[in-house]
Amino acid sequence: MNYYSTSKQAPEATLEEAVVKGLAADKGLFMPRTIKPLPASFYVEMPNLTFQEIAYRVADAFFGEDVPAETLKQIVYDTLSFDVPLVPVTSNIYSLELFHGPTLAFKDVGGRFMARLLGYFIRKEGKKQVNVLVATSGDTGSAVANGFLGVEGIHVYVLYPKGKVSEIQEKQFTTLGLNITALEVDGTFDDCQALVKSAFMDSELNAHMQLTSANSINVARFLPQAFYYFYAYAQLQRLQPGVKPVVCVPSGNFGNITAGLFGKRMGLPIRRFIAANNRNDIFYQYLLSGNYNPRPSVATIANAMDVGNPSNFARVLDLYGESHDAIAAEVSGATYTDEQIAETMRQTWQSAHYLLDPHGACGFRALQEGLQPDEVGIFLETAHPAKFKDTVEAIIGEPVAIPEKLQAFMRGTKQSVSMSSLFADFKAYLLQQPS
Ligand SMILES: *Cc1c(COP(=O)(O)O)cnc(C)c1O
Give the angle subtended at the CA of 333 by the CAs of 325 and 220, to the nearest 5°: 85
Counting from 1 in the atom list of ligand 1, the atom nearest the Cα of 252 is 9
* Ligand 1 centroid, distance to 252 Cα (angstroms): 6
Count the Cβ atoms, other than its own, within 10 Å of residue 41. 8
Element housing 156 (H / E): strand 154-161
d(Cα 15, Cα 29) in Å, to the nearest integer? 13
The CA-based dihedral angle spanning residues 103, 20, 430, 409, taken in that order and rounded to the nearest 10 degrees: 10
pTM of the predicted model over 0.85: yes
Please give the pLDDT value at position 10: 95
Question: In the chain, what are the domain boundaries?
Answer: 81-104+223-402
Cβ(359) – ligand 1 distance below 6 Å: yes
Per-residue pLDDT at 127 exceeds 80: no
Q: What angle do CA 9, 15, 18 make, to 5 degrees?
A: 45
Q: Nearest CA to 290 among 257, 325, 320, 258? A: 325
In angstroms, the first-to-last Cα distance of the chain is 30
Q: Is 196 left (phi over 0), alpha (psi -120 to 50) or beta?
A: alpha
Q: What is the mean pLDDT of residues 149-166?
A: 93
Please give the number of the atom of ligand 1 that sits closest to the Cα of 359: 11
Q: What is the pLDDT of residues 60-113, one digit of tens each?
A: 999 999 999 999 999 999 999 999 999 999 999 999 999 999 999 999 999 999
- In this predicted structure, the answer to whether residue 171 has a pLDDT above a threshold of 80 is yes
In this predicted structure, what is the pLDDT of residue 388? 92
CATH class in words for 81-104+223-402: alpha beta
Q: Name the percent of the chain lying above pLDDT 70.
A: 100
- For residue 140, report the distance from its CA to the centre of ligand 1, in Å: 9
Residue pLDDT, tens place only, 256-271: 999 999 999 999 999 9
For residue range 320-363, what is the model confidence (pLDDT) as tens digits?
A: 999 999 999 999 999 999 999 999 999 999 999 999 999 999 99
Q: Is 44 exposed, middle or buried (0-12, 13-18, 19+ CB in 10 A)?
A: exposed
Contact 386, 402 (CB under 8 A): yes
Give, for ligand 1, the residue of 97, 253, 381 to mutate: max count of ligand atoms closer than 8 Å to Cβ.
253
pLDDT band, very low/low/confident/very high, at 189 (cuts 50, 70, 90): confident
Whether the CB-CB separation of 146 and 405 falls below 8 Å is answered with no
The answer, yes or no, to whether any atom of ligand 1 lies below 6 A from the CB of 305, is yes
* Residue at 400: amino acid letter: V
Residues 6+ apart with CB under 8 A from 329: none
* Band of residue 216 on the pLDDT scale cut at 50, 70, 90: confident
* Type of residue found at 116: R
What pLDDT shows up at residue 137? Answer: 81
Chain centre to alpha carbon of residue 332: 20
> 305 C-alpha to center of ligand 1: Å?
6
Beta strands in 285-434 (DSSP E): 331-335, 377-381, 417-419
Residue nearest ligand 1's atom 15 by CA: 304
Report whether pLDDT(194) > 90: no
Burial (CB count <10 Å: 0-12, 13-18, 19+), residue 204: exposed
- The answer to whether 107 is a known catalytic residue is yes
DSSP state of 274: E
Assign 12 a pLDDT band (cuts: 50, 70, 90): very high
Q: Would the CB of 384 count as within 6 Å of ligand 1?
A: no
What CA–CA distance (Å, rounded) separates 109 from 222?
9
Atom of ligand 1 nearest to the CA of 143: 15
Distance 221 CA to ligand 1 centre (A): 13
Smallest CA separation from ligand 1 atom 2, residue: 304
Task: Tell whether ligand 1 has an atom less than 6 A from the beta carbon of residue 362.
Answer: no
pLDDT digits (tens, 9 = 90+) for 15-33: 999 998 888 989 899 999 9
Looking at residue 368, what is its pLDDT?
Answer: 98
Dihedral over alpha carbons 366, 250, 267, 53 (to 10 degrees): -130
Q: 40-44, 293-297, 375-379 — which is least confidently predicted? A: 293-297
pLDDT at 214: 86
- Reduce the DSSP state of residue 182 to 3 states and report it: strand
Q: What is the mean pLDDT of residues 28-46?
A: 96
27, 107, 128, 427: which is the annotated catalytic residue?
A: 107
Of ligand 1's atoms, which has the minimum distance to the CA of residue 222? Answer: 7
